[in-house]
Amino acid sequence: MNLKKYRKKSPWILHYNTGSCNGCDVEILACLAPKYDLERFGVLNRGNPKQSDILLVTGPVTKRARERLIRLYMEMPEPKVVVAVGACACTGGVFRGMYNVENGVDKFIPVDVYVPGCAARPENIIDGVVRALEILEEKKKDLQLTRKCVGDIEYVLGKQLNRRKIVAEGIRRCYEDRRD
Amino acid sequence: MSKELSVVLTLLSPFIGGLVYGFERIVRARMQNRQGPPILQPFYDFFKLMDKRSIMIHSFHAFMGIMYLIGTWFSLYVLLSGGDILIAIFFHVLSLAFLVIGGFSVRSPYSVVGAMRELIHMLAYEPVFVLAAVGLYLVTGTFQVSELLKTDTVPILTLPLVFIAFLLSLPAVLKKSPFDIAEAHQEIIGGPEIEYSGKFYEAVYTAKWIEYVYAFFFVFLFAGGNYFLGAVLVVLSFFIVNLIDNATARVNFRQMVSFHWYILIPLVVVNLMLLALWRA
């Protein structure tokens, strides 16, 4: 029995705000509200990483938020996709280059779909989620790692990978290159 | 009910419960002026969860999730096979105890808070359930479901207040607003079920569907041998529970317990006392 086609039919969403101005977050909520009603495609806003398939990230990733971002990403079971919503999450937006932000989500976790706009329109967000569902259907169930852990994590932690160790190592690597 | 039919109904109960849950999601969406998901949506969720990579916190926690499913399923089997109502109620308590123990066994504070609130839930509505069973016994003279479904008396005619109290405690059993404090999705994100994922969450999810069948079968019992009236009561109570769910906000746990203990239980007791006086 091919279960892959059901991934598309019941995507559960985790929404995380990494220091956004709340503009994109309000638009995400507008998608779930009666006018656009994403629940008719089975989309639920679970707010729980362990039961979600799609991570909707907004905001330019402040230095306080990056630990939580890595933690949430690693707590989601595979297959999973990441949608960066809004200009800030894609590139840093108006906050780009400031001392307290990290210029976009894809410095820390692999992003599958970028939804531009400041704030992103609900129609664009729905398009992005639909595109993400196409990617989700093709995804494999292998363990997915955060950006800074890809490549050499098995040499550091050994073959017996454990999600908790990976999270700890990923967070440690966030602070490796800090200058202050 | 014959033995074979009860076994078949018990085995089909996740399917029936899933359809009820899917229909409920549509009803809720229509009440909010939305279109809502397709009626088979819970089964799509089910197959998707089956496909996820499984993450366990520790094996005992996952085992408790599965025991919650088995316990709920067994309590429903006791009801459907014509067993004792009280035994069904106590097996239901036991299955919730599995969920609570699972909730306490992990370090997530949401899970622990949710498990504590689950205990408060049981404290609130279980007396109403047991007293309702006592009321059914006083009217029909038996605790056996098989005997109850054969009687000519219609219990709801002599137990109207008990039925109202039971109806108002249904939101607490099904964890619906205003009594959804144990799995308050906006504040503790599912409570004791927060740490389950993939296949293990699927067990908890299915157990919740079975609880729908369990709760509404109790409503059905209030009509005794009159099956048509029973079906009407089930449909009516389903819509009332959803209407209350949509129209109210969450209360805190003190308000929930005091509502059950100061309003619903006295309501049941008054009905039972009037019944005794009328008989004497």
pLDDT at B190: 82
The pTM (predicted TM-score) of the whole model is 0.88
| Assigned CATH class of A11-174 | alpha beta
Of B33, B44, B45, the CB nearest to A34: B33
How far, in Å, CA of A116 to CA of A69, rounded? 20
Query: Any CB–CB contact under 8 A between A40 and chain B?
Result: yes
- Cβ distance of B53 and A77 shorter than 8 Å: yes
How many Å lie between the alpha carbon of B210 and the closest alpha carbon of chain A?
Answer: 20
What residues pair up with A54 in beta bridges, in sequence order? A13, A81
A15 DSSP assignment = E
Query: Any CB–CB contact under 8 A between B200 and chain A?
Result: no
From chain B, the residues in CB contact with A144 under 8 A are none
From chain A, the residues in CB contact with B38 under 8 A are 42
Q: Looking at chain B from residue 42 to 61, which residues have their Cβ under 8 Å from any Cβ of chain A?
A: 44-45, 47-55
Residue A59 near residue A20, CB atoms below 8 Å = yes
What residues pair up with A29 in beta bridges, in sequence order? none
Query: Any CB–CB contact under 8 A between A78 and chain B?
Result: yes
Q: Which residues of B206-226 are buried (b: 16+ CB within 10 A; e: fewer)?
A: bbbbbbbbbbbbbbbbbbbbb
Written as tens digits, the pLDDT of chain B (280 aa) is 677 888 888 888 889 999 999 999 999 999 988 888 999 999 998 998 888 888 888 889 999 999 999 999 999 999 888 888 999 999 999 999 999 999 999 988 999 999 999 999 888 999 999 999 998 888 888 888 888 888 888 888 888 899 999 999 999 988 888 888 888 888 888 888 888 888 899 999 999 999 999 999 989 888 877 888 889 999 999 999 999 999 998 898 899 999 999 999 999 999 999 988 888 7
Q: ipTM, 2 decimals?
A: 0.85
Q: From the CB of residue B141, how many other CB atoms can be counted at a distance below 10 Å? A: 12
From chain B, the residues in CB contact with A143 under 8 A are 53
A149 DSSP assignment = G
Query: Any CB–CB contact under 8 A between A134 and chain B?
Result: no
Nearest by Cα to B75 from B185, B173, B175: B173
Query: How many degrees, rounded to 5, is the angle at CA A57 between CA A52 and CA A62?
Result: 130
From chain A, the residues in CB contact with B47 under 8 A are 3, 6
Of B41, B45, B51, the CB nearest to A4: B51
Q: Is the dihedral of CA B254, B255, B256, B260 positive or negative?
A: positive
- Cβ distance of A10 and B41 shorter than 8 Å: yes
- Cβ distance of A77 and B36 shorter than 8 Å: no
Could you state, in chain order, the average pLDDT of each consecutive group of 10 residues for chain A (180 residues)? 82 89 90 86 86 90 86 88 91 86 86 89 90 87 76 69 79 71
Cβ neighbours of residue B263 closer than 8 Å, sequence gap 6 or more: none
pLDDT at A180: 53
Cβ neighbours of residue B269 closer than 8 Å, sequence gap 6 or more: B131
Query: Any CB–CB contact under 8 A between A37 and chain B?
Result: yes
Residue B65 near residue B103, CB atoms below 8 Å = no
Name residue A118's amino acid. C
Of B36, B44, B195, the CB nearest to A10: B44
How many Å lie between the alpha carbon of B83 and the closest alpha carbon of chain A?
Answer: 36
Nearest by Cα to A172 from A158, A161, A156: A156
How far, in Å, CA of A51 to CA of B226, rounded? 43
The H or E element containing residue A81 is: strand A81-85
- Mutation site for B-interface testing, chosen from A48, A54, A139, A140 by largest number of B Cβ within 10 Å: A48
Q: Chain B residue with minimal CA distance to A74? A: B55
Helix B160-173 to helix B265-279 angle (10° resolution) is 160
Long-range CB pairs of B179-184 (<8 Å, 24+ gap) are: B179/B121, B179/B124, B179/B250, B179/B251, B179/B256, B180/B250, B181/B117, B181/B120, B181/B121, B181/B250, B181/B251, B181/B252, B181/B253, B181/B256, B182/B114, B182/B117, B182/B118, B182/B120, B182/B121, B183/B114, B184/B117, B184/B250
- Mutation site for B-interface testing, chosen from A6, A35, A80, A142 by largest number of B Cβ within 10 Å: A6
